[in-house]
């Protein structure tokens, strides 16, 4: 009678799994790695998926299908404008939009967006319309008490408001958004005759009166662009955590395989076919992966639920995008989480399966024979790592030579090649370093020599945890330097660009009076008027889409501080050219269109085609759009730009705050301006807001970064714990030879600190390269502008200190256990050794 294949498989699998009963530490390490990797990845993906679902709802509602009509002079639209256009036969529809404050909002100033539509004139098929054609429903919608549409995840907030029309649940609506009839909305928003915008179906190709401008949805700056970059940032950090977690898994699997090589050979000798053995190992992976994925996804969702309100608040304040603060996870999120965990596990376990499939059954009794091949493996690893680094170098050169058309995917490939290449090179480099140390250590330092030799022996087991630590340390240094550099540059740039002490945005009809009044004031040193509008960019005779136009007064104070990245004949000449009729362009436009000082662009304005020479390129951090800067007078004249803001620079004074407050009060009294309606903006408040927004943007990045470092420390700790028993068998002979347990403990900690310091030494150049790649490649591809590279010595010192701290913390538990092990046990281990 012969055994059936399932029974052979079952017995083989049970025998393989019995290993973990004897080595529960390895099982814990394996599951911990999977759990951490999967939890961080799933958490980040849950946030992204939930936010994306909110964006999709918002995009479907707002940006997809209707052209907008605004006044050319920038003044607010009125009911009369709407009536004039309708009388002229134009099929426009009015929309009003405002915000309803929530009395019991979770955070200060929490508001709902209220949109009022006019269903009878709204173009049919528009997302906002959404009427089912039922006459009764339309009647209910049009007459009191009206109807109001709301998404299910906004219901809880809506219930805190009184006197709202009866609610209709509409799952497709974006979060924190209410849609009702224009009359109901006007009452709720207290907007009597005002209209926020007029819309028209894109297929109505009609000529507008010259006082109005039509903007297609394509021409609007994509509100999702910056938010997408934010999510990309989160995804990249999640991916890094996944990779670091998979390093733990790889280390655990490698250790489990090494300790089971003898068992695998015995099973083969006892008649288990190679295929059955591989299948059993694969099933073992699947079992572990399923448990890890389940734990990870559940924890990831909990993590996301904890983080989402903060992320939603950040996205709201940063990018003006409304994200629901409750998780809405699509089906593919769950499937994706399991797939990525299992995929990661099998990629981490592939080398184990490959090695197991190549086991020589005649190698019975040579379970440790693979150690002899270590040197060869290190050479191959160095070669492979070198190839990846060379690939990264080539890609960097390629991306640098195609400036302006950079691909974000290629940028991330560059970072991945850089990190993976360096990680592969780490073990051979550490081995080389230890070899050098062993050669030059004095003969009398016997214990130290033993320590170095022993560390060389430990390298195969430690290398994966060290690689994880290298990735975490370099990511910490790289991202830390990038954020620090960004902060420095951004604040510097804010100081340069926000020269005025106060910004005033008066209504168009007040502008001249207000300007004249300010000019008379003794406390005002100078005025810096600015305007903005947009025009069609013409490149090589073809329309290249809309571009923002910004008008500035090229006064001396502005010329002295306005930063320029590139000029044709120097800083002074660029300003002279601007005054003489040339233009400046922002970095985003320069990179996207491949433009440089000395080139020429054409703009289609309301007065015809305008040709401009480019005199300089300036940095414009945080702006997703291409922009051209001209003297403000020319912008008003040739592009009919509406009146914009007036920057007020105060004369030198002893008490700036008092002078400013006096001026604000005077402006409010005379021109009925108030700082709460955004017509009066204090420069300090603006800077503070910008800085807050900046800090919040990188809070999550920093948190994930720290978490990744924690995971790497965990990898090191679990590696040490998993092999602690085997290590004691190595240390027992030393103890028997008269080395006290206290010295053995110090020796163990010293060994790990040495290995971590070596890793930190490589992490420093890698981290700096990573910063370079982030600011010069990823940032340019994601945002369209490049940051200067800053190196922070304190950050480097911190990296080294972190490595030492991680080493000490990771070595502490095994060292403590060694110190407490009874002499009887050490004696037994000595006999076994």
Partner 1 sequence: MLQMTGITKTYPTPQGPLKVLDDVDLSLAAGESLALMGESGSGKSTLLHLAAGLDLPDKGSVHLGGQRLSALNETKRATLRRDQLGLVFQQFHLVPSLSVRNNLSLQARLAGREDDAWTEHLLTRLGLAEFAARYPEQLSGGQQQRLAIGRALAPKPRLLLADEPTGNLDEAAAAQVLALLQALIDESGCALLMVTHSAQVAAPMQRHLLLKRGKLMDKAL
Binding stretches for partner 1 (CB under 8 A): 1-4, 7-8, 11-12, 15, 18-23, 262-263, 265-276, 361-362, 364-365
- Please provide the distance, in angstroms rounded to a whole number, between the alpha carbons at the two ends of the chain: 43
Considering the complex, what minimum distance in angstroms separates the CB of residue 828 from partner 1?
A: 10
Considering the complex, what minimum distance in angstroms separates the CB of residue 458 from partner 1?
A: 22
Task: CB nearer to partner 1: give 274 or 283.
Answer: 274
Task: CB nearer to partner 1: give 26 or 322.
Answer: 26
Considering the complex, what minimum distance in angstroms separates the CB of residue 718 from partner 1?
A: 19
CB 777 within 8 A of CB 406: yes
Considering the complex, what minimum distance in angstroms separates the CB of residue 709 from partner 1?
A: 34
Q: Tell me how far apart the alpha carbons of residues 245 and 37 are, in angstroms, rounded to a whole number.
A: 4
Residues 6+ apart with CB under 8 A from 26: 19, 20, 252, 255, 256, 259, 722
Considering the complex, what minimum distance in angstroms separates the CB of residue 27 from partner 1?
A: 12
Closest CA to 46 of 38, 57, 58: 38
Considering the complex, what minimum distance in angstroms separates the CB of residue 269 from partner 1?
A: 6
Q: Tell me how far apart the alpha carbons of residues 613 and 584 are, in angstroms, rounded to a whole number.
A: 8
Residues in the chain: 833
Task: CB nearer to partner 1: give 276 or 779.
Answer: 276
Closest CA to 384 of 338, 417, 361, 362: 417
Task: CB nearer to partner 1: give 15 or 496.
Answer: 15
Task: CB nearer to partner 1: give 21 or 542.
Answer: 21
CB 760 within 8 A of CB 803: yes
Considering the complex, what minimum distance in angstroms separates the CB of residue 345 from partner 1?
A: 22
**Which runs of consecutive H residues, i.e. helices, occur in 63-105?**
79-87
Task: CB nearer to partner 1: give 277 or 803.
Answer: 277
CB 188 within 8 A of CB 162: no
For residue 443, give the H/E element and its range. Answer: none
Considering the complex, what minimum distance in angstroms separates the CB of residue 285 from partner 1?
A: 18
CB atoms under 10 Å from CB of 809, counted, come to: 15
Q: Tell me how far apart the alpha carbons of residues 764 and 756 are, in angstroms, rounded to a whole number.
A: 12
Considering the complex, what minimum distance in angstroms separates the CB of residue 15 from partner 1?
A: 6
Q: Is 209 left (phi over 0), alpha (psi -120 to 50) or beta?
A: beta
CB 505 within 8 A of CB 676: no
CB 60 within 8 A of CB 127: yes
Task: CB nearer to partner 1: give 270 or 436.
Answer: 270
Task: CB nearer to partner 1: give 282 or 710.
Answer: 282
Considering the complex, what minimum distance in angstroms separates the CB of residue 311 from partner 1?
A: 45
Task: CB nearer to partner 1: give 3 or 350.
Answer: 3
Considering the complex, what minimum distance in angstroms separates the CB of residue 378 from partner 1?
A: 22
CB 615 within 8 A of CB 574: yes
CB 626 within 8 A of CB 614: no
Cα–Cα distances in Å, from 75 out to 62, 66, 194, 505? 22, 21, 11, 12
Task: CB nearer to partner 1: give 13 or 434.
Answer: 13
Peptide bond into 145 cis (omega under 30): yes
Task: CB nearer to partner 1: give 211 or 364.
Answer: 364
Cα–Cα distances in Å, from 107 out to 101, 102, 156? 11, 9, 15
């Amino acid at each position: 009678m012969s055994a059936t294949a399932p029974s052979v498989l079952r017995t083989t699998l049970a025998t393989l799994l019995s290993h973990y009963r004897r080595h529960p530490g390895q099982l814990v390490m394996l599951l911990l790695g999977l759990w951490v990797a999967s939890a961080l990845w799933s958490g980040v993906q849950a946030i992204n998926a939930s936010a994306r679902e909110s964006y999709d709802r918002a995009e479907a509602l707002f940006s997809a299908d209707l052209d907008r009509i605004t006044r050319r002079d920038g003044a607010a639209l009125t009911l009369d404008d709407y009536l004039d256009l309708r009388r002229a036969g134009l099929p426009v529809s009015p929309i009003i939009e405002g915000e309803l404050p929530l009395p019991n909002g979770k955070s200060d100033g929490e508001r709902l967006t209220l949109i009022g539509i006019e269903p009878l004139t709204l173009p049919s098929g528009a997302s906002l319309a959404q009427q089912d054609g039922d006459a009764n429903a339309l009647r209910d919608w049009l007459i009191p008490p009206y109807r109001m549409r709301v998404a299910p995840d906004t219901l809880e907030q809506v219930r805190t408001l009184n006197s709202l029309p009866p609610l209709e649940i509409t799952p497709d609506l974006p979060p924190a958004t209410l849609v009702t009839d224009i009359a109901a909305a006007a009452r709720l928003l207290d907007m009597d005759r005002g209209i926020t915008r007029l819309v028209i179906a894109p297929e109505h190709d009609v000529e507008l009166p010259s006082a109005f401008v039509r903007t297609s949805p394509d021409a609007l700056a994509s509100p999702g662009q910056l938010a997408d970059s934010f999510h990309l940032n989160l995804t990249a950090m999640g991916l890094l955590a996944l990779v670091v977690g998979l390093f733990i898994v790889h280390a655990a699997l490698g250790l489990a395989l090494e300790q089971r090589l003898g068992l695998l050979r015995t099973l083969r000798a006892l008649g288990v076919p190679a295929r059955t053995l591989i299948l059993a190992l694969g099933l073992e992976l699947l079992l572990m992966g399923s448990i890890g994925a389940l734990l990870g996804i559940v924890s990831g969702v909990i993590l996301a639920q904890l983080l989402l309100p903060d992320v939603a608040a950040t996205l709201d304040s940063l990018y003006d995008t409304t994200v629901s603060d409750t998780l809405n996870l699509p089906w593919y999120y769950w499937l994706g989480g399991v797939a990525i965990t299992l995929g990661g596990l099998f990629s981490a376990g592939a080398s184990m399966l490959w090695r197991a499939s190549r086991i020589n059954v005649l190698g019975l009794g040579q379970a440790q024979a693979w150690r002899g091949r270590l040197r060869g493996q290190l050479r191959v690893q160095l070669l492979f790592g070198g190839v990846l680094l060379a690939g990264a170098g080539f890609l960097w050169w390629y991306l640098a030579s195609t400036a302006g058309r950079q691909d974000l995917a290629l940028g991330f490939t560059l970072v991945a090649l850089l990190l993976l290449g360096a990680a592969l090179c780490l073990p051979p480099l550490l081995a080389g370093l230890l070899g050098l140390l062993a050669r030059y250590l004095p003969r009398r330092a016997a214990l130290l020599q033993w320590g170095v030799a022993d560390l060389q022996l430990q390298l195969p087991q430690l290398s994966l945890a060290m690689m994880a630590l290298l990735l975490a340390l370099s990511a910490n240094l790289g991202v830390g330097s990038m954020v620090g550099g960004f902060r420095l540059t951004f604040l510097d740039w804010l100081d340069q660009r926000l020269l005025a002490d106060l910004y005033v945005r008066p209504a168009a009809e007040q502008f001249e009076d207000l300007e004249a009044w300010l000019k008379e004031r003794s406390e005002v040193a100078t005025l810096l008027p600015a305007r903005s509008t947009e025009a069609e960019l013409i490149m090589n005779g073809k329309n290249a889409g809309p571009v923002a136009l910004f008008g500035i007064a090229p006064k001396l104070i502005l010329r002295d501080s306005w930063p320029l990245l590139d000029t044709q004949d120097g800083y002074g000449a660029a300003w002279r050219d601007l005054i003489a009729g040339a233009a400046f362009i922002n970095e985003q436009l320069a990179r996207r269109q491949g433009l440089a000082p000395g080139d020429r662009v054409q703009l289609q304005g309301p007065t015809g085609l305008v040709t401009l020479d480019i005199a300089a390129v300036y940095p414009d951090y945080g702006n997703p759009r291409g922009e051209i800067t001209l003297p403000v007078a020319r912008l008003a004249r040739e592009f009919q730009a509406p009146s914009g803001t007036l920057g007020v620079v105060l004369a030198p004074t002893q008490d700036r705050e008092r002078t400013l407050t006096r001026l604000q009060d005077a402006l409010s009294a005379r021109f009925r301006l108030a700082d709460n309606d955004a017509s009066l903006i204090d420069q300090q408040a603006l800077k503070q807001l910008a800085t807050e927004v900046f800090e919040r943007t990188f809070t999550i990045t920093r948190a994930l970064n720290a978490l990744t470092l924690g995971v790497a420390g965990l990898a090191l700790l679990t590696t040490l714990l998993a092999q602690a028993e085997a290590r004691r068998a190595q240390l027992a002979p030393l103890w028997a030879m008269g080395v006290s347990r206290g010295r053995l403990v110090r020796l163990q900690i010293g060994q790990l600190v040495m290995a971590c310091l070596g890793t930190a030494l490589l992490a420093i150049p890698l981290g700096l390269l990573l910063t370079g790649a982030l600011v010069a490649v990823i940032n340019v591809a994601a945002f369209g502008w490049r940051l200067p590279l800053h190196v922070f010595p304190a950050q480097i010192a911190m990296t080294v200190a972190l490595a030492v701290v991680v080493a000490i913390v990771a070595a502490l538990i095994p060292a403590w256990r060694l110190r407490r092990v009874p002499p009887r046990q050490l004696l037994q281990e000595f006999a076994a050794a």
